[in-house]
Structure formats: C-alpha cells, structure tokens
Amino acid sequence: MESDGYCKDFYKGEMAERYLLHVPAYPSAVVETIIEYLEEKMPKPHTIAVDVACGTGQGTRMLSGYFDKVLGYDISPDMITIAQRNETLQNIEYSVSAAESLPVEDGTVDVITVASALHMFEFERFCKEVDRILKPGGIFAAYAYCACTNGGRIFQSEVANDLLTEYFEGIFFKNTPPSYKNYGVFKNMVENLVMPYREVKCPDNLISEREYTISGIMDLIRSFAPTKEYLIKHPIEGPKVLQQLKEGITDALKITEADKFHVMIPIPIKMARKPIM
C-alpha cells in the first residue's frame, strides 16, 4: 500500500488552501545545513534535488538556488496544482507521485528531502526508493515543524501552552488516521526516526518564527488530519472543543481576533549520507 488514499483525499480543495496559508515557514538554516553536509563529500555543481511530499512547494523552493533542477512530488493533485500555480522559479518541476514509487532514474539525485511527512509513508519501501535514486555520497534529509510534538510549547504564555498540550495529548494523538503508518515518527516527528544510513550530528536549535492571528492558529490546527478525524467522529462536540481552545488561548495571550502574536516552533532535522562505494 502506497502513501495515497486518505492523504490524497485529505489535502484537497479548502484543506490544501488552508495548508498553503497557515503552515509554518521553514528557516533558511535548514537547507544551509543540508548543503554544508552535502559539500563535505560532493562539491559543486549539484544537479538534482528531490523534495518528497512537497505539498505546496514551501521546502522545494528553498532548494532552488543550490541545484540545476529541483523535483517536487506529492500524492495530492490539489497540492501540486497550488504549487504549480504559485511557482515562478524556472528550475523547479512539480508532479503527482507516491513517495514509494518516484518517477526518477536510478542514481541521479544529490539530495532527497522530506518535510513533516514521513509518518504517512510506507517507510521501508520509501527507503528503498531513497537508495535507488540517490547518488553514492548523496544526502537524505528529514525535518519537520513540531507545533504538535513539542508538547504544544509554542506561545509566549505557559497557560496558552498548557491548553494546546491538553488538546494534543487528550484529543489530537487519539485521532490519528490510518494513513499515519508510523505513529512513533509522527508523535515525535523525526526524533525517533531510524535513518537508512549512518546519521550525522545535526543542529538542535532550528526554529520557525512567524506572526499569527488566533484564527490563523486555529486554521493551522484544523489543517492537521487528526483534527479532521476528530471533527468527523464528533460533529457536535468537536467544534465546541475547538471553540473553547480558541477562547482559552485568546484569553491567555490577552489578544483580540485581529491581533498578531509571535510563535516559535522547533524544527528538528536528521541527515544521513549514502555510502560512497
């Protein structure tokens, strides 16, 4: 079974647009870290990077300045349509594909990246694809934003953080859909991930910083599949719970509907290099 079905159907229409608007931005230090490690063994020029589960192209675009060509793949046609619609860079191509069967020639890729998506893959099959398409000496890098897996500690208010933690632990993690094939990776994002090659020590202080309104934060929470699962299972109770969460965070941060506030979300990263024969 490939990483399709639920994933393809979930991120479409309104959910794909919500993802585009509210997903946290990844810092440039993520790609700088990957390139620095790549160039220890593989000097320029770098020909091809592949961003798997690219979504609307946020992480894909960060690779553009370092490679002749960047290929972004996602199982959701709507995500790919949005990425293509918003793309202005000439060396990026987007296509619909499952992570476990990428339309890429053997041994042609310098770097493979995955951002916040490994929990939806058939990981062993995906690792075989990684090994198939990577050049010897190429890099596989996985990173994620941890709004939900950092215990909800993203606000400058411990009361607001406690409310978010209560939601994640009490509801969110109890409603993960069947497509989240690797729950352990999901709950701890990349921290518990066992890489297919020997890992390298990575920085542990990468942070995504962004200004949100309270409606933006709630739309981010609604863009997560477990929230949708919860709302489907509990069509009356669910909206009330989310409204209570919104009101609680609003009160804790002492903000209005229109106010913007600062959010800091950790970005863990893991990298590994395919052995050079």
Q: Which pLDDT score, from 0 to 100, does residue 18 have?
A: 62
| Percentage of residues of the chain with pLDDT beyond 90 | 52
- pLDDT band at residue 109 using 50, 70 and 90 as cut-offs: very high
Which secondary structure element, helix H or strand E, spans residue 93, and what is its range? strand 92-96
Structure tokens at 10: 């979930």
Q: Which pLDDT score, from 0 to 100, does residue 127 have?
A: 94
Please say whether the beta carbons of 16 and 84 come within 8 A: no
Better-scored residue on pLDDT, 253 or 267:
253
Mean pLDDT for 256-272 is 91
Q: Which pLDDT score, from 0 to 100, does residue 95 have?
A: 97
pLDDT over 90 at 2, yes or no: no
- Could you please report the per-residue DSSP string of 143-160? E---TTTSTT--SS-HHH
pLDDT over 50 at 102, yes or no: yes
Q: Across-strand partners of 264?
A: 209
Block residue for tokens 């959910």: 15
Q: Which pLDDT score, from 0 to 100, does residue 85 have?
A: 92
Mean pLDDT for 65-93 is 94
Please say whether the beta carbons of 154 and 263 come within 8 A: yes
Of 4-8, 172-176, 191-195, the range with the lowest mean pLDDT is 4-8
Q: Give per-residue pLDDT as tens, 203-232.
A: 888 888 889 999 999 988 888 878 888 898
- pLDDT band at residue 165 using 50, 70 and 90 as cut-offs: confident
Would residue 137 be called left, alpha or beta, if left means φ above 0 and alpha means ψ between -120 and 50 degrees?
Answer: left
Q: Give per-residue pLDDT as tens, 12-38.
A: 556 656 665 667 788 999 999 999 999
pLDDT over 50 at 238, yes or no: yes
Beta-carbon count within 10 A of 164 CB? 24
> Considering the entire predicted model, what is its pTM?
0.87
Q: Give per-residue pLDDT as tens, 178-194.
A: 655 554 544 555 667 78
Q: Give per-residue pLDDT as tens, 84-95.
A: 999 999 999 999
pLDDT over 90 at 150, yes or no: no
Q: Which pLDDT score, from 0 to 100, does residue 12 have?
A: 58
Side chain identity at residue 51, one-letter code: D
Query: What is the residue-averaged pLDDT of the chain?
Result: 85
Q: Which pLDDT score, from 0 to 100, does residue 38 have?
A: 94
Q: Which pLDDT score, from 0 to 100, does residue 6 have?
A: 44
